[in-house]
Chains A and B, each alone.
Chain A
């Protein structure tokens, strides 16, 4: 509807009216043969009515010359196609990042403004304003309702993927099941862009992480991957993730999401091949240039049996205010029998730790042999 009308608010109002008419008529007259087509046609006609009603001299819109819509015009395929334009419009870089996320959830996820507000821990009023500002910007600045041209696609697709991944990561803190919503959005995108390896990579990453989420906490305590109760893992979810990963690799994907998904997949094996994990992290480090990826690589190298080499990597990192550098150093020093230095590093990590479960975890590690 948004694609058809070029107006988010009008589309929303018209769709609501169409649903109201359906709720009234369908129980009496039976469900139409093509329910989605019926809804779209009805909504479009309602939208045209609305425009006619508020028509002023300035409102000579092209829509008025259109014939009344019939159900047959709206095959499901056509509707499916326009969601891609909608994703790219909602995730346009000219829109503020937090508004991109909210707009995507509102228009593609179908979450209510109130639900989105609760997920991001802001008031419904604030979220309403944020959405209104974004919709106004789209209209006033002429953000197009199109899939970007080929030479811009890689950058723009990155922006879409990072919005979906942010939605996924917000899923842990909020009350609404945003992680599930992000996976659903990722699935829609994978269906619409089946040849883009990073799309499958992101979907694979989310599937695998999500499949393990029930094992990540025991009560409110954080559980390390190696201590997790694997019977709590959703094996079906891990299998779905691996299927997406295979797809991405078949498409010769080697971007950051594909690599992260590959790491998550190896880490979900019965016996983890840590040298393979280390190798994947070193490829990821080359692409991202991120010191945090280097830190993870060091952990994998230590797990693969070389704590001394790992410590050398950690000591090269310029991340003095990052808690996990110190906790990782502490673990490595402890394994190398340098207990005094280990203790100092734990204490430094403790100074930087923000959350209570993490502080308790570090305190336990200081006293443990």
Chain B
């Protein structure tokens, strides 16, 4: 089954790390991306770069900022092929953002 691991991180949490810690954390992200079960991953630029678009009555509304004004911000994702939810949860628990004040949302992909 395919699972999206959506990474919500606490703004500034990664930047606050010392250089050595940051290097180690970066390595953890790379290890996950190199896992044979990983089908894809992506890191987003900081939330300050977000633009939100809506279409109402055919008129396009474009605003500065993210869609949801939350404390933790969506910052990236992994796509994994895992046997079951427990395996996906294990992988989610290894994402550094989860222990740095953020959270990982685990969502199965719709089967096509």
Interface residues of A (CB under 8 A from B): 92, 94, 140-144, 146, 148-149, 152
Contacts and interface: CB of A to CB of B under 8 A. Distances in A.
Contact of B108 (A92, A141, A146, A148): A141
Residues of B contacting A: mostly: mixed
Contacts of A146: 84, 86
Interface string B44-69: 00000000000000000000000000
Contacts, number: 26
B1 interface: yes
Nearest to A143: B85
B83 interface: yes
Interface of B: 1, 82-86, 88-89, 106, 108
Contacts of B1: 142
A364 to B, nearest CB: 49
A292 to B, nearest CB: 29
17 contacts: A94-B85, A94-B89, A140-B108, A141-B108, A142-B1, A142-B82, A142-B88, A143-B84, A143-B85, A143-B86, A144-B83, A144-B84, A144-B85, A144-B86, A146-B86, A148-B86, A152-B86
B84 A142 contact: yes
A64 to B, nearest CB: 19
Most buried by B among A94, A142, A143, A144: A142
A148 B108 CA distance: 20
Nearest to B1: A142
A100 to B, nearest CB: 14
B98 to A, nearest CB: 15
B14 to A, nearest CB: 27
Q: Looking at B82, B83, B85, B108, which has the most chain A CB atoms within 10 Å of its CB? A: B85
Contacts of A143: 84-86
Nearest to A144: B84
B85 A141 contact: yes
A144 B84 CA distance: 6
A151 to B, nearest CB: 9
Nearest to A137: B85
Q: Which of B82, B83, B86, B89 has the most CB of A within 10 A?
A: B86
Nearest to A152: B86
A160 to B, nearest CB: 15
Contacts of A144: 83-86
A342 B82 CA distance: 62
A142 B89 contact: no
A252 to B, nearest CB: 29
A92 B84 CA distance: 13
A140 B86 CA distance: 13
A117 B98 CA distance: 37
B89 to A, nearest CB: 7
B86 to A, nearest CB: 5
B22 to A, nearest CB: 28
A148 B86 CA distance: 8
Contacts of B88: 142
Contacts of A149: 86
B107 to A, nearest CB: 8
Contacts of A148: 86
